[in-house]
Amino acid sequence: MTSVPPALIFILGAVLLPFLRGRTRSVYSLLLPTLAFLDLLAMSSGSSWIIQFLGYDITFLRVDRLAMVWGYIFVIIAFISNLFALHVDKKGEIMATTLYTGSALGVVFAGDFISLFVFWEIMALAATFIIWYGGREDSINAGFRYILMHIFAGLCLLAGIVITVVQTGSIEFNYMGLNSIGSLFVFLGFIINAAVPPFHRWLPDAYPQASPTGAVYLSAFTTKSSVYVLARAFPGTHVLIYLGAFMTCYPIFYAVLDNDIRGVLSYSLINQVGFMLVGVGIGTPLAINGAAAHAFCHIIYKALLFMSAGSVLHMTGKIRCTDIGGLYKTMPLTAVACMVGAASISAFPLFSGFVSKSMTVTASALGGYVIVWFMLQFASAGVFHHAGIKVPFFTFFGHDSGIRTSDPPRHMLAAMGIASFLCIFIGVYPAPLYSILPYPVDFVPYTAGHVLSQIQLLMFAALAFTLLILSGYYPPEVRAINLDADWFYRKWVRGFLWFINNPLARFGKLTEKIFFDLVPRFVIWFTTLWAALDLKIIDGIINGIAGITIWSGGKLRKVQTGDVQSYATIAIVGVTILLIILMGYA
């Protein structure tokens, strides 16, 4: 069986979606990821689907073990997300999510910079439409902010690609290393899409504004595609270790303060991507395996948490901690799914996060990164605090909001059920996951030391949460806007716009007045004056010539013929002597 690029299945499949309705469209939306999964099973290592363009080889399908990890999980989460979104009847949103999935797969299997950039930009544009389909005014504004940030990231990537191609003459996308100005621009474009602080605010700003189903797709593809390209081009780049470690700790404080459940999950998403970047930065086989495994597990349990939150929003129309609570009474299955996702993201033993996150933490210890190891431990306790406890507690327990509803429709429950099963299955039996990782796995997660240390860490985090709640010192859930790092560049941009609209605009108007009003008037005035003077001068010259002519004629009439001949002879002799002198000098 000949494989085709999985991106092609989704992108061409999106073209037919608007013409399908009802059950046919539902079956079709589930058929696309099924066909893509079968396509992945038939793939073998190597490059194919190579097209000549402007003298370069455009490679749409480059298959190796690193790409296959992301290929498998992207297709699996596409099936789960499409199942969760079967009730969606907005054709535009369905097309956007399908293109989004296909472009993310295009990035994963791209073998060159040109195809990578094209799919990268399609992914950003499709994600923007998904945000806009949130249907609120805040969704429109957040979508514009999202696309502006990603246009900037895309321009950085494009600049890096152009510089790299000019320097090397090759468009092949492989290991680069941070060793040139071109690679620096490429690196910057990648880390912006990975939501590395201080370029992270676009994520918690935009994702909560999507629809209940749209946020599930958004949680899966953009940041994890960025982790993949960093693992492909910059493994072992040590700056990623410290960026990732900072990234694991920074969002914890904002997640504790955020009142929107999906905002909390967005900050915890940034926290989890930080673990992956630490693994990529360490660059050892164990660390790269840890980053890949954690990306695989994270996509599932983060989607599960966003599906739980989306189900609450779908059924109640509310998603803020101050508006919900006590929903376990009427949404018990959703509550169970949320708790499975919370246990997974917290790396509880027997859940998927434990068998993946511990690989990166162990790699940091073996590499001698002591401070980074402590930061990862702190971040692990923090994520359990806000995503493992806060999200299920304030959503389904805590105070009783008085809302009485029910669990969401069966297809949404089925999607959460599949994701919950995978979280538990991988946590109990990680061998299938370990078998597809980029390098052979020589790691045993379930040792007495790992299990006991993780349980102790989580129990102390739970104790801290309990004491803060009982003592009344836990930060209250209030409706507020929390200032983040984007304050700095929003202020800078606002100042830049003020400079453009005030001093610079006024200078422009003054310049326009000078060059298009005063200067033309001066030119017209000067030209008119010169023309008047010019006419008088010409008249004077003509009158003078006429007077000289009249005077000469009077004189000539008195001159005899002999005199004229004498004058002519003298003139000829003079001219002859002058020519002889000039020829002598020559």
The reply to whether 386 and 283 lie within a common domain is yes
The reply to whether 29 and 117 lie within a common domain is yes
580 has a pLDDT exceeding 50: no
Per-residue model confidence as pLDDT tens digits over 84-126: 999 998 989 999 999 999 999 999 999 999 999 999 999 999 9
User: What is the model's pLDDT at position 244?
Assistant: 96
User: What is the model's pLDDT at position 69?
Assistant: 97
Residue 373, helix vs strand vs coil: helix
212 has a pLDDT exceeding 60: yes
pLDDT-based confidence at residue 255 (cuts at 50, 70, 90): confident
pLDDT-based confidence at residue 556 (cuts at 50, 70, 90): very low
User: What is the model's pLDDT at position 565?
Assistant: 46
pTM of the entire predicted model: 0.84
Rounded CA separation 331/458 (Å)? 26
| Mean pLDDT computed over 512-534 | 60
The reply to whether 110 and 244 lie within a common domain is no
* Beta bridge mates, 112: 172
551 has a pLDDT exceeding 60: no
Number of compact structural domains in the chain? 3
The reply to whether 201 and 260 lie within a common domain is no
pLDDT-based confidence at residue 443 (cuts at 50, 70, 90): very high
Q: Check whether the bond before 349 is cis (ω within 30° of 0).
A: no
The reply to whether 111 and 137 lie within a common domain is yes
| Mean pLDDT computed over 430-447 | 94
User: What is the model's pLDDT at position 411?
Assistant: 96
Q: Which residue has the higher pLDDT, 408 or 560?
A: 408
User: What is the model's pLDDT at position 564?
Assistant: 43
Rounded CA separation 7/9 (Å)? 5
On whether residue 485 sits in a domain, the answer given is: no
pLDDT-based confidence at residue 217 (cuts at 50, 70, 90): very high
Cα torsion for 568, 574, 579, 585, to the nearest 10°? -170
On whether residue 107 sits in a domain, the answer given is: yes
Contacts of 357 (CB under 8 A, 6+ apart): 275, 290, 294, 297, 347, 380
Rounded CA separation 395/444 (Å)? 35
Per-residue model confidence as pLDDT tens digits over 160-186: 999 999 999 999 999 999 989 999 999
Identify the helix (H) or strand (E) that includes residue 60: strand 56-63
Per-residue model confidence as pLDDT tens digits over 53-62: 888 899 999 9
The reply to whether 410 and 534 lie within a common domain is no
Out of 448, 477, 506, pick the residue that ends a domain. 477
The reply to whether 423 and 409 lie within a common domain is yes
User: What is the model's pLDDT at position 576?
Assistant: 47
Give the angle subtended at the CA of 559 by the CAs of 556 and 562, to the nearest 5°.
Answer: 130
Q: Which residue has the higher pLDDT, 586 or 196?
A: 196
User: What is the model's pLDDT at position 527?
Assistant: 60
Per-residue model confidence as pLDDT tens digits over 20-50: 888 899 999 999 999 999 999 999 999 999 9
9 has a pLDDT exceeding 70: yes
Q: Which residue has the higher pLDDT, 70 or 500?
A: 70
The reply to whether 17 and 81 lie within a common domain is yes
Per-residue model confidence as pLDDT tens digits over 375-431: 999 999 888 887 888 889 888 987 888 888 999 999 999 999 999 999 999 999 999
| Mean pLDDT computed over 476-501 | 68
Per-residue model confidence as pLDDT tens digits over 321-354: 888 888 999 999 999 999 999 999 999 999 999 9
The reply to whether 504 and 558 lie within a common domain is yes
Backbone angles phi, psi at 51, to 5 degrees: -125, 135
User: What is the model's pLDDT at position 397?
Assistant: 86
522 lies in which domain range?
490-585
On whether residue 126 sits in a domain, the answer given is: yes
On whether residue 482 sits in a domain, the answer given is: no
On whether residue 506 sits in a domain, the answer given is: yes
546 has a pLDDT exceeding 60: no
Handedness of CA 178, 156, 130, 36 (dihedral sign): negative
On whether residue 380 sits in a domain, the answer given is: yes
Out of 171, 199, 233, pick the residue that ends a domain. 233
User: What is the model's pLDDT at position 549?
Assistant: 52
pLDDT-based confidence at residue 583 (cuts at 50, 70, 90): very low
Per-residue model confidence as pLDDT tens digits over 125-163: 999 999 999 988 889 999 999 999 999 999 999 999 999
User: What is the model's pLDDT at position 461?
Assistant: 81
User: What is the model's pLDDT at position 525?
Assistant: 61
The reply to whether 323 and 428 lie within a common domain is yes
On whether residue 452 sits in a domain, the answer given is: yes
| CA nearest to 93, candidates 119, 128, 58, 117 | 128
**SS (HEC) of 171-239:** CECCCCCCCCHHHHHHHHHHHHHCCCCCCCCHHHHHHHHCCCCHHHHHHHHHHHHHHHHHHHHCCCCCH
237 has a pLDDT exceeding 90: yes
The reply to whether 411 and 364 lie within a common domain is yes
User: What is the model's pLDDT at position 473?
Assistant: 65
The reply to whether 209 and 284 lie within a common domain is no
On whether residue 500 sits in a domain, the answer given is: yes
Out of 477, 512, 530, pick the residue that ends a domain. 477
